[in-house]
Structure 1
Amino acid sequence: MTRWPKFLRRGPMETTAIALIALGFFMLFQPFLLALYGYSFITMLIGTLMFIVVSKFPE
């Protein structure tokens, strides 16, 4: 079995996905820029989909 590169392993990719979800929540609840609010849903959606896919990756 071949080993996956370190950046494609489950741990770092799950951390990245969780960071995207957290960024989306920050963008949703900040009161300063409407543009950030506008992109908050898509950011959270990408993070959630990424987390679902990455959870199938090998350790």
Structure 2
Amino acid sequence: MRDFLSGIVRLRRGPWEMLATVLIALGVVMLMQPLFLWAYTWSFLVTLTGTVMFLVVSHFPE
């Protein structure tokens, strides 16, 4: 956990890509669930944020 947090602070690619991937997956799960309207409403924004974040982070140094 300490390595993950230091990678986030130092703007390293690995931890940020993992965070972006989790956001994309969370947005897809929010889109497919049938119970909560608020989750469906925010799913596109969460997926879009994760995708844009992944595109930006892919240019960070390793």
The TM-score with structure 2 as length reference comes to: 0.85
CA distance in 1, matches of 2:58, 2:43: 22
Aligned positions, number? 55
Q: How does 1:1-59 map onto structure 2 within 5 Å?
A: 6-7=7-8, 8-59=11-62
* Cα deviation code 1:5-48 (max 9, x no counterpart): 52120000000000000000000000110110000000000000
CA distance in 2, matches of 1:6, 1:15: 11
Equivalent pair of 2:7/2:14 in contact (CA under 8 Å): no
Provide the identity percentage.
Answer: 56
Please give the secondary structure, in 2, of the residue aligned with 1:6: helix
RMSD: 0.8
Which ranges of structure 2 fall in alignment gaps of 5 or more residues? 1-5
Structure 1 stretches (4+) deviating beyond 3 angstroms?
Answer: none
More helix, by proportion: 2
